[in-house]
């Protein structure tokens, strides 16, 4: 058993406006990290309640951290002190139960939360549990929502690299600008590097690069429009089945090499 | 203290019946039950701390996963004649013979000593998991259930149930010096065998809860009382209170 480290070597989160292809990008990035042979033990965290990442990877998730959260709240509501004390011992068991393991990576899906309410202490508890679990991994890749609060509240307080995915629309770029502000000005999440990835690009690189500069973001990579990705998405086919030389995979491979593994 | 004696006997009867039925059953005797048994573990599978996990890809054998089923409980008695000191019994396949397997897992620890009291049961419940103590042996537990993985490295270093049993015996004795005799039972044979043991486990757990409740009540603490989420300890409480006021005022206006 590798002794638990203080933290993992690489911690990358992906965010951006809805519909820009974050999940497809995360799925492809995970495949390229595995293929590189340099990512070590890889943990994927699907922090988007829509839970598209398992579908994109072609795997089934039986239990989510959202369900663990429900169990914790339910136990707290039952009100027996003894049961609450036992929760401390049970958390790591429940987290491992929620971990879907494959030969080359593991996936933790946050899932939806049915119970209304903030329950900050529960979030703290879960975040601590996830942070402990994640210390056994060398690389952690988080697929997030547009907003960063959920990652901060329920998954991790900070990441090394935040990759913002935008499509070639002004709304996508505006959202990227807002995310940059949330990180740099409002400190919503601790983050060392910000990188903007343009997805489904069809020859407007110059305009997009200028727009990225205006919102203070460096472009980390361009993923061209790829019919094969659209076709796989349409049929719900796992993106790992994409040919290695598909334009999308080639572009993501380059981003992985330059911005994650470098 | 004879609270758990009927259950110690039930476990002994169950083992005897199981032995009569035949199958793969092995018994080991820890040669030096009173000594430093943890030292018997090979160095590469030695003591380690931290909350790391053994990933599936690094796992030699998995024991008691939620799918395979598990059962774990301790028993204690003040009558040392009920416990055969140093005896480790394994019903079912061992670790070295099960590469790649996910086996059901039962673990029963029996401890005896004239000085033991009901109050020691809770301590034994904590001691039974050896969590984070053995490198390459990961344990995740909930009350009564134990899910563990033996890493390929630990298996290669010779880790098996005899060593695990020795480690548990050593851990029990060092944690509770009042223990004079300790016996360990491991079951990996089948889910059916486990379910018979689970019936005993459920009865023991019910008594254990009652014992814990009485023990803490004697110390002036009522385990049955409610312990809600404590908002008073939250730094953001003033802000939340303000926002609640805003919500209340808005609701009043909307309702007006």
* Alpha-carbon gap, residue A46 to B179, rounded angstroms: 48
* Alpha-carbon gap, residue A225 to A247, rounded angstroms: 8
* Alpha-carbon gap, residue A98 to A155, rounded angstroms: 14
- Token pair of B4, please? 């758990």
Residue with tokens 């926002």: B243
* Alpha-carbon gap, residue A98 to A63, rounded angstroms: 5
A82 contacts in B (CB within 8 Å)?
209, 212-213, 223-224
Q: Residue B19's pLDDT is what?
A: 86
Per-residue confidence of chain B (256 residues) as pLDDT tens digits?
Answer: 678 889 999 999 999 988 888 878 888 887 654 445 455 554 444 334 455 789 999 999 999 999 999 999 999 999 999 999 999 999 999 999 999 999 999 999 999 999 888 878 888 887 787 666 778 888 888 888 899 999 999 899 888 999 899 888 888 888 888 899 999 999 999 999 999 899 999 998 888 877 777 776 666 555 554 433 455 556 666 665 666 666 666 666 656 6
Burial of A241 (0-12, 13-18, 19+ CB in 10 A): exposed
Domains recognised in chain A with CATH numbers:
10-60+100-115+137-260 (3.40.50.300)
* Alpha-carbon gap, residue A100 to A110, rounded angstroms: 12
A79 contacts in B (CB within 8 Å)?
226-228
Give residue A204's pLDDT band: very low, low, confident or very high (50, 70, 90): confident
CA angle B184, B188, B190 (to 5 degrees): 135
B240 contacts in A (CB within 8 Å)?
118
Put simply, whether A104 touches B (Cβ < 8 Å) is yes
Residue A225's DSSP bridge partners are: none
* Contact (CB, 8 A) for A71 and A38: no
Q: Indicate if the pLDDT at residue A72 is higher than 70.
A: yes
**B234 closest CB neighbour out of A76, A101, A120:** A120
Share of chain A above pLDDT 70, in %: 86
* Alpha-carbon gap, residue B140 to B149, rounded angstroms: 9
Q: What pTM was computed for the model?
A: 0.80
CATH fold of B5-218: 3.30.1650
Residue with tokens 């089934």: A60
**A1 closest CB neighbour out of B138, B145, B222:** B138
b/e code B11-46 from CB counts within 10 Å (16+ = b): bbebbeebeeeeeeeeebebeebeeebbebbeeebe
Contact A1 B53 (CB under 8 A): yes
Contact B143 A2 (CB under 8 A): no
Burial of B7 (0-12, 13-18, 19+ CB in 10 A): buried
Spell out the domain ranges in chain B.
5-218
The predicted-structure confidence for A19-32, as pLDDT tens digits, reads as follows: 899 999 999 999 99
* Alpha-carbon gap, residue A108 to A142, rounded angstroms: 9
Contact A3 B52 (CB under 8 A): yes
* Contact (CB, 8 A) for B141 and A93: yes
Question: Distance between the two ends of chain A, CA-based, in angstroms?
Answer: 27
- Token pair of B37, please? 């048994």
């Amino acid at each position: 058993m590798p002794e638990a480290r203080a933290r993992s070597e690489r911690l990358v989160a992906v965010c951006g406006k809805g519909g820009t292809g974050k999940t497809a990008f995360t799925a492809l990035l995970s495949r390229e990290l595995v293929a590189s042979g340099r990512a070590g033990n890889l943990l994927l965290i699907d922090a988007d309640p829509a839970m598209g990442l398992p579908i994109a990877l072609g795997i089934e998730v039986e239990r989510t951290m959202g369900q663990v959260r429900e169990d914790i709240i339910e136990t707290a509501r039952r009100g027996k002190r003894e049961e609450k004390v036992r929760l401390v011992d049970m958390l790591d068991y429940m987290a491992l139960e929620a971990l879907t393991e494959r030969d080359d990576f593991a996936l933790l899906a946050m899932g939806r939360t049915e119970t209304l309410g903030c329950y900050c202490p529960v979030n703290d508890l879960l975040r601590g549990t996830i942070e402990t679990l994640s210390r056994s991994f060398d690389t952690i890749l988080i697929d997030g929502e547009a907003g960063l609060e959920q990652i901060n509240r329920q998954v991790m307080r900070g990441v090394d690299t935040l990759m913002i995915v935008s499509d070639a629309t002004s709304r996508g770029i505006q959202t990227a600008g807002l995310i940059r502000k949330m990180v740099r000005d409002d400190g919503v999440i601790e983050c060392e590097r910000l990188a903007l990835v343009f997805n489904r690009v069809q020859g407007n690189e110059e305009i997009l690069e200028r727009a990225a500069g205006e919102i203070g973001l460096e472009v980390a990579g361009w993923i061209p429009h790829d019919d094969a990705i659209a076709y796989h998405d349409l049929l719900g086919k796992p993106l790992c089945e994409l040919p290695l030389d598909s334009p999308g995979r080639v572009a993501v491979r380059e981003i992985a090499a330059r911005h994650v593994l470098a | 203290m004879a609270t758990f004696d009927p259950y110690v006997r039930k476990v002994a009867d169950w083992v005897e019946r199981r032995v009569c039925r035949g199958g793969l059953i092995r018994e080991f005797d820890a040669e030096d039950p009173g000594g430093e048994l943890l030292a018997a573990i090979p160095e590469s599978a030695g003591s380690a701390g931290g909350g790391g996990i053994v990933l599936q890809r690094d796992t030699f054998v998995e024991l008691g996963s939620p799918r395979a089923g598990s059962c774990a409980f301790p028993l204690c008695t003040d009558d040392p004649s009920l416990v055969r000191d140093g005896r480790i019994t394994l019903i079912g396949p061992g670790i070295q013979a099960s590469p790649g397997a996910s086996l059901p897992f039962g673990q029963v620890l029996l401890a005896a000593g004239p000085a033991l009291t009901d109050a020691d049961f809770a301590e034994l419940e904590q001691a039974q998991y050896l969590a984070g103590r053995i490198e390459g042996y990961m344990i995740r537990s909930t009350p009564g259930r134990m899910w563990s993985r033996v890493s390929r490295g630990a298996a290669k270093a010779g880790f098996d149930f005899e060593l695990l049993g020795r480690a548990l015996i050593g851990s029990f004795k060092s944690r509770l010096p009042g223990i004079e005799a300790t016996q360990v039972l491991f079951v990996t044979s089948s889910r059916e065998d486990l379910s018979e043991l689970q019936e005993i486990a459920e009865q023991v757990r019910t008594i254990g809860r009652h014992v814990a409740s009485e023990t803490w009540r004697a110390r002036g603490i009522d385990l049955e009382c409610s312990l809600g989420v404590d908002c008073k300890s939250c730094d953001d409480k003033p802000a939340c209170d303000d926002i609640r006021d805003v919500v209340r005022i808005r609701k009043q206006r909307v309702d007006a």
